[in-house]
Amino acid sequence: MLVFVLLLAGTHVELTRVRDARPPQARLGYFPPASVIKALTADQYQFVSQVISLQCLFYFGTLVEIRTQAPDWWQIYRAVYTATRLDPYNMDAYYFAQAVLTWETGMLPQTIQLLEYGFAHRTWDWYLPFYISFDYAFFLKDYEKAGMYLAKAAELKPEVEWYATLAARYYYEGGSTALALAYLQEMIPAARNEAIKKRLVIRAKASAQD
Amino acid sequence: MHSILVRKQQLVAFMAVAIKGAVRDRVLGAMVVVGLILLLTTPVVALFSMRHVLALASSYSLSIISLMGLLLTLFIAMGLLARDLEQRQVYTICSLPISRATYLLGKFLGFAIVIFLAVAILGCFSAGALFVLERIHPAERAFAWGGFFIGLWFQYWVLLIVGAITILFSTVATSNFLPLALSVGIYLGSYSSEAVHYFVRTAAGQKELGAAVRLFGNVVYWILPNFSAFDLKAQIIYGVALNGRELLLTQLYAVGYLGVVLVLATLAFARREFF
């Protein structure tokens, strides 16, 4: 018995060390297409979708900690895409895509497509049109579309008066730093994950200095 | 009139035997333990959510209930006949003036009650965890409690049908493994059959798939139970409105499908040679 316990403890510690030393790209792993996962997981696919979102979060969190290796953004995007195809209502996946994939990945069109897909399902959710509106205005300078989506967000969330005001401004004005700050001030308090929060705070500081 | 009364008494007796068997196996006690684990782990798992704590919590809870329900269903349904066959009690029963259909249906009713209790126990623990989480992390949309209990009800019907299918295979199989393998295969296939049936009827399906594959997809859809219709998780987790007509049709479909499987099982069991 003692021999087995020693063997178990010894290998477990070493195994943990070896596994921790894996390149971050190997951590996220491979996810088969959503249709295959759906066929193999019966009624568990919503939970699998949530697990994939969490895997992305852990993967991203690890990279933020390490800071030496660039994340494989395509791998993250493919994982988030799979998560949303498994469960189109999975808000965590959309939130993660918006917080992580928009700024420096060069995958803005793909992210907007993801969010639009989400909004087609989560028709009551004002966050998604709000995110899409921001992406169109801030990154793509397409104020007409930005205004359209912000008007939808204002319709779903009439309590936030400045949405409607800003939506009106979009139609005739260009984007501004104030827009980025307003957006980030909305995102940061809602961020529950520290890695994402840190990233957004850095963005907010950079925008304030512009 | 007298014979109906006797048959009813026999049915209740076999039902009680099935329930006692599950109690002897400490199935319900095990479900209470699983329920407690569910209650304790749901808030921990939910904390990982980036935005939607209650969605992750309910998704986790419903997945555990579904998985535990499936394992329990297979475990009990497999043992219903197998144990009597192994212990040769079925030989004694068959020599008595008791119809095999009464024996089988009595056993199935006992199974149905045990599964109901198991789902109810897990559902209560899960509801407790979700209730607390809803107060701590209020969502923008109120949690759909009505949908939650309706979803559990339909989850129960999925388990009843899987159990009946397992019993059907047990009535003809000579090994324990075959009913298990076939039931798991049917369970998995039954969640995909609707999507396959939909795809074979689309223009892309007509173009990409051969006639034989399309026919296979259609046949599988009409033979296997359509469990996708019973899966209300999206509606529960995200508060999407339920369609009353669809629910009613699903319930009637479930009763019809269960009835057909049970009739086939009793016919198969009646023809089985024991001596």
Q: Under an 8 A CB cutoff, do A44 and B60 touch?
A: no
Q: Which of A124, A125, A196 shows the shortest C-beta gap to B50?
A: A196
The whole-angstrom separation of Cα A145 and Cα A167 is: 10
Q: Say whether pLDDT at A101 is over 80.
A: yes
Whole-number average pLDDT of chain B = 88
End-to-end CA distance of chain A: 65
**Cross-chain residue pair B234–A38, CB shorter than 8 Å:** no
A46–B63 CB contact, under 8 Å: yes
Give the model confidence (pLDDT) of A59-80 as tens digits: 887 776 666 667 788 889 999 9
Q: Quote the percentage of chain B above a pLDDT of 70.
A: 99
- Whether residues B51 and A95 touch (CB distance < 8 A) is answered with yes
Distance in angstroms (rounded) separating the CA atoms of residues B207 and B199? 11
Residue B137 touches partner A, C-beta closer than 8 Å: no
Q: What is the pLDDT of residues A112-126, one digit of tens each?
A: 999 999 999 999 898
pLDDT band at B87 (very low <50, low <70, confident <90, very high): confident
Q: Which of A47-61, A63-77, A90-104, B258-272 has the lowest mean pLDDT?
A: A63-77
> Which amino acid makes up residue B201?
R
Cβ of residue B56 closer than 8 Å to a chain A Cβ: yes
For residue A162, the model assigns a pLDDT of 65
**Do the chains contact at A191 and B50, CB–CB below 8 Å?**
yes
CA-CA distance, B115 to B267, in Å (whole number)? 24
Give pLDDT, residue B159: 97
Residue A114's pLDDT is what? 96
Beta-carbon separation of A91 and B52 below 8 A: yes
Q: Tell me whether B233 touches chain A (CB under 8 Å).
A: yes
Q: What does the alpha-carbon distance between residue B266 and residue B270 come to, in Å, rounded to a whole number?
A: 6
Q: Is a pLDDT exceeding 70 seen at residue B206?
A: yes
Better-predicted residue by pLDDT, B100 or A165: B100
Mean pLDDT of A48-52: 92
CA angle in degrees (0–180, nearest 5) for B5-B9-B12: 140
Q: Spell out a b/e string for A143-157, using b for 16 or more CB atoms within 10 Å of the CB, else e.
A: bebbbbbbbbbbebb
Cβ separation of B48 and A54 shorter than 8 Å? yes
Higher model confidence: residue A114 or residue B85? Answer: A114
The whole-angstrom separation of Cα B34 and Cα B167 is 25
Whether A36 contacts chain B with CB within 8 A: no
State pLDDT tens for residues B208-237. 888 888 899 889 999 999 999 999 988 888
Q: What is the pTM of this model?
A: 0.81
Report whether B70 contacts B183 (CB < 8 A): no
Is the minimum CB–CB distance between B75 and chain A shorter than 8 Å?
Answer: no
Which 101-120 residues of chain A touch chain B by CB within 8 A? Answer: none
Q: Take residue A68 and report the two structure tokens written for it.
A: 């030496």
Could you tell me which chain B residue has the CA closest to the CA of A44? B63
Answer yes or no: do B50 and A92 touch at CB < 8 A: yes
* Chain A CB contacts of B161 below 8 Å: none
Q: What is the mean pLDDT of residues A148-176?
A: 69
Determine what percent of chain B is predicted with pLDDT higher than 90: 44
Q: What pLDDT, in 10s, does the model give residues B15-39?
A: 888 888 888 888 888 888 888 888 8
Tell if the CB–CB gap between A40 and B191 is shorter than 8 Å: no
Q: Over 60: is that where the pLDDT of A174 sits?
A: no
pLDDT tens across B101-117, in order?
888 999 999 999 999 99
DSSP letter (8 states) at residue B47: T
Tell me if B217 sits within 8 A of B196, measured CB to CB: yes
pLDDT of residue B93: 76
**Please, which pLDDT band fits residue B49 given cuts at 50, 70 and 90?**
confident
Q: Which of A46, A96, A115, A157 best probes binding to B when mutated, by most B CB atoms within 10 angstroms?
A: A46
Q: Which residues of B fall within a CB distance of 8 Å from A47?
A: 59-60, 62-63
**pLDDT at B225 (0 to 100):** 94
Cross-chain Cβ contact B234/A89 below 8 Å: yes
**Which residue in the set A40, A47, A95 is minimally distant from B59, CB to CB?**
A47
Q: Which carries the bigger pLDDT value, residue A185 or residue B154?
A: B154
A165 has a pLDDT exceeding 70: no
Q: Which long-range contacts (CB under 8 A, 24 or more apart) does B257-260 make?
A: B257/B161, B257/B225, B258/B157, B258/B160, B258/B161, B258/B164
pLDDT in tens, A14-23: 888 887 777 7
pLDDT at A89: 93
A36 to chain B: which residues are within 8 Å by CB?
A: none
- Checking if the pLDDT of A170 tops 70, the result is no
Q: Which of A38, A47, A57 sits opposite B60 (nearest CB)?
A: A47
Average pLDDT score over residue span B142-159:
93
